[in-house]
């Protein structure tokens, strides 16, 4: 939680710089193995260009031209930050060169943009499945942390061709008089300065994280009765829609806190104990989650165990407002007697979601402010900090979700599953300021969503479109009102990859190097995610085996038209556009489409954009903001019938929107597993509403005949 500090540690910045931490904060130090820090090997025989890295071919291309080609292979090494360019240039500077190549990466490779566009709309892009956007000019391989891109302005297109358990393959087509391929090994680790990023050692949490947190609902006034009542209501109204996690926040622990028993044995508001509450939450079908902090406030214990705590220059236990006494994770006793028993005890009870708070204070007011404590012992304070978090991880297990809170925590990359990137209260800005981190480094947490009339639709939509954490935090009675609707349509959250591996709004991440010299966690720091940003557009690609489409979320802006080219779509094709919240079909468009005014009932718009076909097709569905990306198992057309399978929620009306172009006459509609509650055509779109008494998979068929009606 973002709690105001009244104590600010004052030390000389020059003193901090005298002990610049090594560990994973310095480019010269590698903590673990991984791909080599070296350029790719390049061979070119005039017709074939091959690039090899880490003993594997990553690029193999055929070069075509009617003229002579100048070839060059140049690389620089600036303290381990390697940039390599491979140049193919027409000697007369006019004759076009074409390259048709195959790019091969690991199973975690994906197409993207790595360099900022020179002009156009600011749109935060994510993709469910491998992106097919025409904006892509690069392939990033997360597992080995390399990126291979084509410099602007020549034409470039990247298309996924094969996916597998061990590798993905892409076709890269390039044309122009001067082609520059740019290879950057250790991209996030070295070029972006995230020296703890060793992706070959861990995978990003790829399951939906959606649920409820008690903090804004009750703050510290939580009690056992409120938690049980909230679990009852939440499981009834939102569990069927994909909200699994149920997290209790501050207010249950004994104070002053710090020792394991002050957490494991709650205060008088929880007479049944934590283990019984955990079992009750589980009995409702929910995953139990719990809040703890990285602070210590038991002075009597500190005085008797001074060696377990950080000492100031006078030899006294260091102390800060929110960090309390600073636990020294370099001492095994601290870990064995304080940290391990707490998290081992919680895990044994059955808690599986862990929100660890005050980590910023342990780092800033603790380890940074009292760096001399570690310097005198020849220790790396960043590694000590990681040891604290890693100890928690060891006790809760890899199968538990660990959220680092609050503020950006680059030192804990590879340990925490999610990061609360900003302060208390939902923030849109972080989803554009740290968009490149999301589902590459960790899962971004924009903080809890409150279902207010002003923000419910906007916040649920944007969180889901970006594949971030979606944790609600209202009093449970609100879920029995109509405001629950946007929450139901936003979960579960699809796993996404960023379409840009740069930050659309770099105003925060550009200052991330200051983490090592920050000595106060009093409020938002210059690198912590902000609340609002100039980016109002969020795009999600849906890439399934049977179809691809895009979703564009709009929160504002004076836009008269959206060019399809700006959305990564082919401007030569025609597209059907459907607005999800108002359930309004806008029409069929070429080149661009007009979004119209934003309805104040929703304060946002969500457009589903599908390529127009010359036969009946699915325009959208109602279950989820992905308009079918979540629940559609397949959709097929056999020449006379459109059919599909959909996963539905019991007693939740499921609506199909089907286009009926000229030349086709509707005959009948059948459904196995659900009843047809409504079936009408308005204009070129037929609306079919289905209702099932049970959650599960339904099969539906819409039959047509060719004709002039």
| Two structure tokens written together for 515 | 């983490």
Q: Is the pLDDT of residue 27 over 80?
A: no
As a whole number, the mean pLDDT across the chain is: 94
Q: Of the candidates 553, 566, 629, which has an alpha carbon nearest to the alpha carbon of residue 595?
A: 553
Per-residue pLDDT tens digits for 392-404: 999 999 999 999 9
Q: How confident is the model at residue 532 (pLDDT cuts 50, 70, 90)?
A: confident
Contacting residues for 332 by C-beta, under 8 A, at least 6 apart:
none
Q: What pLDDT sits at residue 321? A: 86
Residue 424: strand, helix, or coil: coil
Rounded CA separation 358/364 (Å): 10
Q: Is the pLDDT of residue 23 over 60?
A: no
Q: Give the other-Cβ count within 10 Å of 71's Cβ.
A: 14
Copy the structure tokens of residue 701: 């068929």
Cβ atoms of 563 and 120 within 8 Å: the answer is: no
Residues 573/548, Cβ–Cβ less than 8 Å = no
Question: Taking a C-beta distance cutoff of 8 angstroms, is the pair 400, 245 a contact?
Answer: no
Q: Which pLDDT tens digit goes with each residue over 535-581?
A: 999 999 999 999 999 999 999 988 999 999 999 999 999 999 999 99
Nearest alpha-carbon partner for 653 in 611, 688, 683 = 688
Predicted confidence (pLDDT) at residue 700 exceeds the cutoff of 90: yes
pLDDT score recorded for residue 254: 97
Q: Read off the pLDDT of each residue in 333-346 and give the average, rounded to a whole number.
A: 98
pLDDT of residue 585: 98
Tell me what the mean pLDDT of segment 295-302 comes to.
Answer: 97
Q: Which helix (H) or strand (E) holds 563?
A: strand 562-563
pLDDT at 2 over 80: no
> Would you say residue 31 has pLDDT above 70?
no
Domains of the chain: 41-121+131-191 (no CATH), 613-709 (2.60.40)
Q: Is 80 exceeded by the pLDDT of residue 248? A: yes
pLDDT at 575: 98
Per-residue pLDDT, 234? 98
Q: How confident is the model at residue 5 (pLDDT cuts 50, 70, 90)?
A: very low
Cα separation, 561 vs 554, in Å, equals 12
534 pLDDT band, cuts 50/70/90, is confident
Q: What is the pLDDT of residue 119?
A: 85
Asked if residues 509 and 438 have their Cβ atoms less than 8 Å apart, the reply is no
SS (H, E, C) 301-340: HHHHCHHHECECCCCCECEECCCEECECCCCHHHHHHHHH
**pLDDT of amino acid 26:** 54
- Looking at residue 15, what is its pLDDT? 32
Distance of CA 495 to the CA centre of its chain: 8
661's CB contacts (< 8 A; 6+ apart) are 614, 615, 616, 684
Identify the pLDDT of residue 21: 36
CA distances from 376 to 315, 323, 361, 372, 379 (A): 12, 22, 21, 6, 8
The residue count for the chain: 709
For position 514, what pLDDT does the model report?
96
Residue 635, SS3 per DSSP: strand
Helix (H, G, I), strand (E, B) or coil at 367: helix
Give 225-257 as a 3 state SS string.
HHHHHHHHHHHHHCHHHCCCEEEECCCCCCCCC
- Residues 569-612 have pLDDT tens digits of 999 999 999 999 999 999 999 999 999 999 999 999 999 999 99
Percent of the chain clearing pLDDT 70 (strictly above): 95
Q: Which residues of 649-675 are buried (b: 16+ CB within 10 A; e: fewer)?
A: beeeebbbbbbbeeebebeebebebbe
DSSP 374: H
How far is Cα 534 from Cα 328, in angstroms, rounded to an integer? 41
145-203 residue pLDDT tens:
999 999 999 999 999 999 999 999 999 999 999 999 999 999 999 999 999 999 999 99
What is the C-alpha radius of gyration for the chain, rounded to an integer number of angstroms? 27
Give me the mean pLDDT over the 657-672 stretch: 97
Per-residue confidence (pLDDT) for residue 95, from 0 to 100: 94
127 against 1, higher pLDDT = 127
pLDDT surpasses 90 at 8 = no
Which of 539, 610, 536 has the alpha carbon at shortest distance from 570? 610
CA 444 to chain centre: 5
Minimal CA–CA distance to 282: which of 345, 353, 332? Answer: 353
How far is it, in rounded angstroms, from Cα 322 to Cα 520?
Answer: 10
**15-19, 29-33, 491-495 — which is least confidently predicted?**
15-19
Separation of CA 294 from chain center = 25
Q: Which residues of 511-546 are buried (b: 16+ CB within 10 A; e: fewer)?
A: ebeebbbbbbbbebbebbbbeebebbbbbbbbbbee
Confidence band of 707 (pLDDT split at 50, 70, 90): confident
Distance in angstroms (rounded) separating the CA atoms of residues 67 and 69: 7
Residue 16 has pLDDT above 70, yes or no: no
Q: What is the pLDDT of residue 6?
A: 25
pLDDT tens digits for 59-106? 999 999 999 999 999 999 999 999 999 999 999 989 999 999 999 999
Dig out the tokens for 666 from the structure.
Answer: 């509707």
- Which helix (H) or strand (E) segment holds residue 388: the answer is helix 381-396
Confidence of residue 671 (pLDDT cuts 50, 70, 90): very high
Q: Are 591 and 563 in contact (CB under 8 A)?
A: yes
Q: Name the one residue in this structure whose structure tokens are 């109002």.
A: 536
pLDDT of 533 > 90? The answer is: no
CA atoms within 13 A on the CB side of 225: 3
State the pLDDT confidence band at 12, using cuts at 50, 70 and 90.
very low
């Amino acid at each position: 939680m973002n709690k105001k500090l009244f104590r600010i540690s004052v030390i000389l910045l020059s003193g901090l710089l005298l002990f610049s931490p090594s560990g994973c904060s310095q480019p010269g130090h590698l903590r673990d193995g991984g791909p080599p820090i070296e350029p790719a090997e390049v061979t070119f025989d005039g017709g074939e260009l091959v690039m090899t890295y880490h003993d594997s071919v990553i690029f193999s291309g055929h070069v075509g031209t009617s003229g002579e080609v100048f070839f060059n292979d140049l690389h620089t090494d600036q303290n381990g930050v390697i940039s390599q360019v491979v140049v193919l240039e027409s000697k007369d500077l006019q004759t076009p060169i074409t390259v048709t190549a195959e790019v091969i990466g690991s199973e975690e490779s994906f197409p993207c943009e790595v360099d900022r566009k020179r002009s156009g709309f600011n749109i935060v892009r994510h993709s469910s499945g491998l992106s097919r956007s025409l904006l892509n000019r690069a392939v990033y391989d997360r597992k080995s942390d390399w990126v291979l891109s084509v410099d602007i302005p020549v034409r470039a297109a990247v298309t996924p061709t094969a996916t597998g358990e061990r590798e993905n393959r892409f076709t890269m087509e390039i044309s122009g008089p001067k082609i520059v391929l740019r290879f950057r090994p250790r991209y996030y680790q070295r070029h972006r300065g995230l020296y703890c990023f060793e992706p070959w050692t861990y995978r990003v949490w790829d399951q939906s994280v959606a649920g409820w947190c008690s903090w804004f609902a009750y703050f510290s006034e939580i009690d056992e009765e409120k938690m049980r009542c909230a679990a009852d209501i939440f499981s009834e109204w939102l569990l069927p829609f994909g909200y699994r996690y149920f997290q209790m926040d501050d207010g249950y622990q004994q104070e002053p806190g710090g020792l394991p028993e002050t957490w494991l044995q709650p205060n008088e508001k929880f007479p049944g104990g934590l283990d019984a509450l955990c079992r009750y939450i589980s009995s409702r079908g929910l995953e139990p989650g719990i809040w703890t902090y990285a602070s210590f406030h038991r002075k009597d214990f500190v005085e008797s165990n001074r060696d377990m705590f950080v000492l100031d220059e006078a030899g006294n236990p260091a102390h800060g407002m929110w960090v309390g006494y600073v636990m020294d994770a370099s001492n095994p006793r601290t870990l064995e007697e304080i940290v391990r028993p707490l998290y081992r005890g919680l895990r044994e009870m059955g808690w599986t979601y862990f929100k660890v708070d005050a980590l910023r204070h342990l780092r800033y007011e603790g380890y940074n402010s009292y760096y001399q404590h570690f310097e005198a012992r020849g220790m790396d304070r960043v590694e000590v900090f990681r040891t604290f978090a890693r100890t928690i991880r060891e006790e809760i297990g890899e199968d538990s979700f660990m959220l680092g809170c609050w503020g950006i925590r680059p030192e804990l990359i590879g340990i925490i599953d999610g990061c609360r990137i900003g302060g208390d209260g939902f923030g849109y800005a972080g989803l554009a300021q740290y968009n490149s981190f999301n589902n590459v480094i960790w899962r971004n947490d924009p903080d809890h969503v409150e279902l207010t009339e002003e923000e419910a639709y906007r916040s649920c939509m944007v969180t889901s479109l970006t594949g971030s954490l979606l944790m609600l935090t209202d009093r449970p009675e609100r879920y029995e009102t109509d405001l629950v609707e946007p929450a139901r349509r936003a979960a579960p959250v699809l796993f996404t990859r960023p379409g840009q591996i740069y930050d659309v709004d770099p105003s925060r991440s550009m200052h991330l190097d200051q983490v090592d010299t920050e000595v106060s966690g009093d409020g938002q720091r210059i690198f912590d995610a902000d609340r609002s940003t100039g980016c109002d557009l969020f795009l999600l690609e849906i890439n399934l085996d049977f179809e691809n489409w895009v979703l564009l979320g709009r929160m504002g802006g004076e836009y008269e038209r959206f060019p399809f080219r700006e959305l990564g779509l082919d401007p030569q094709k025609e597209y059907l556009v459907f607005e999800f919240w108002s359930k309004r079909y806008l029409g069929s468009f070429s080149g661009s489409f007009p979004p119209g005014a934003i309805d104040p009932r929703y304060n946002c718009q969500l457009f589903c954009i599908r390529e127009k076909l010359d036969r009946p097709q699915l325009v959208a569905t109602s279950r989820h903001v992905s308009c079918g990306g979540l629940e559609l198992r397949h959709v097929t057309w056999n020449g006379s019938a459109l059919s599909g399978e959909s996963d539905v929620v019991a007693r939740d009306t499921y609506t199909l929107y089907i286009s009926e172009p000229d030349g086709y006459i509707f005959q009948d509609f059948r459904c196995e597993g659900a009843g047809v509650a409504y079936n009408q055509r308005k204009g070129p779109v037929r609306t079919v509403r289905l209702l099932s008494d049970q959650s599960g998979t339904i099969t539906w068929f819409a039959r047509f005949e060719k004709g002039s009606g």
